[in-house]
Amino acid sequence: MADMLKLLKKVNEKEIDFNGGKVSVKELTFNEVQEFSALAKTAEDVDEFESNRNSLGAIIRKGVVGMEELTDDDLGEASLNSLKELSEAVLEFNGLKVSDVEEAGND
């Protein structure tokens, strides 16, 4: 049973390109996903959630290897685009990213 639990609790990682370097994003636990769901419910809409420093920071701290100790000051010194890119990579790796619907163009 212990071996099965070890397999169940294994957290996979994926290396991605980011700002000219490489970072590893990791799978979130069920409990972590629940925390993010609660954060999302407090936001009025998706745009507010995506730009909310607390939400972005929570996702990055939990989902990017080596950024667990990221401070609010660190977040404040990063560009919004960088924060969004990292958080979206974490969410996408975890199957949580909602795809943007492409507008149909005239042919």
Is the predicted pLDDT of residue 101 greater than 50, yes or no? no
Between helices 53-63 and 80-93, what is the axis angle to 10°? 50
pLDDT at 16 over 70: yes
Share of the chain residues as helix, strand and coil, in percent rounded to the nearest 5: 55, 10, 35
Per the listing, tokens 């629940």 go with 34
Residue 37, CB-side half-sphere exposure with 13 Å CA sphere: 8
Percent of the chain exceeding pLDDT 90 equals 39
Checking if the pLDDT of 102 tops 60, the result is: no
Predicted pLDDT of residue 1: 84
User: Helices 53-63 and 30-42: crossing angle, nearest 10°?
Assistant: 170
Which pLDDT belongs to residue 49?
Answer: 55
Q: Kindly report the average pLDDT of the chain as a whole number.
A: 82
- The band of 63, judged by pLDDT with boundaries at 50, 70 and 90, is very high
For the chain, which residues make up each domain, given as ranges?
Answer: 23-93
Q: Whole-prediction pTM value?
A: 0.76
Q: What's the one-letter identity of residue 74?
A: D
Instruction: Identify which has the larger pLDDT, 71 or 52.
Output: 71
Instruction: Give the model's pLDDT for residue 9.
Output: 87
